[in-house]
Amino acid sequence: MAGRRTSLASLAGAKVEDVPGQSQPLLLSLPLDRLVPTRFNPRRRFGTDDELREFGAKLAKEQLQPAVVVSRTAYLKLWPEEAEHVGNASYVIANGERRWRASRLAGRPALEVVHKEDVAASRAAFLDAVQSENNDRQDLDPIERALGIDIMVTQLGGAEQVAVYYGKTKGWVSQQRKLLKLTAELQDLVSSGEMPVRVARDIAGLPAEVQSTAWEEEVAKRKAAKEAADRWKTAGAPDPSPS
């Protein structure tokens, strides 16, 4: 459903919980200091400051996709313990933290947002909304995806609740979270794409103290296999025809 634009001035003085938009999306342009991103976003790689400034400059010319926000009241009903993090912000960003970060670095005064209160209908709905945009756009690396599932397990009270929500098994949930058993150094290799996910899951099942050695052995094995293949190509394949 397309949102309808309402001027910020028309909302001045209204309590956040009385602002329209609880039942349908409402398009707003909000000062950055009235916004705060949720701490439950699994995304950790937002780009360098220079990349964000460049993105912010593009947003200043035209912001094609608004961020998605909920009111502080709705958010704190779900997570009262997040009051200190929310601070004086009136809205919490569910989707669009990178746009918010880029706008701050580029010196933009405001951000286009869609106020969708139903996103905060439950913890599960909010966390799913946070993950959905990243997953749909394939913005998350494998470690961030694993972290997203782990956040849901923690906040929803267990793997079984997450499995039921997604219509999956507990085994599926465990498999998604398995990468988080890797050491921090090896997680970085997975995030960068240097370590294949299939190999990473195998190594994640090992004790932390032997994981680096296991990866070094895997690298050596792959290097030997590549060198053998290169020698075979250089020498040429043997002629299979009879002499």
In whole angstroms, what is the distance from residue 185 CA to residue 85 CA?
29
How far is CA 208 from each of CA 185, 186, 192, 196, rounded to the nearest angstrom? 11, 10, 20, 18
Q: Is the pTM of this model over 0.75?
A: no
39 touches 85 (CB < 8 A): yes
Neighbouring residues of 41: CB distance < 8 A, sequence distance ≥ 6: 97, 130, 134
Q: Which region among 1-5, 44-48, 85-89, 149-153 has the lowest average model confidence (pLDDT)?
A: 1-5
Interval 52-92: pLDDT, tens: 999 999 999 888 889 999 999 999 999 999 999 999 999 99
Say yes or no to pLDDT of 206 above 90. Answer: yes
- Give the residue-averaged pLDDT of 197-224: 94
- Give the residue-averaged pLDDT of 176-198: 94
62 touches 42 (CB < 8 A): no
Among the listed residues 165, 77, 176, 178, the one whose alpha carbon sits nearest the alpha carbon of residue 129: 165
In whole angstroms, what is the distance from residue 44 CA to residue 122 CA?
24
123 touches 34 (CB < 8 A): no
Identity of residue 209: E
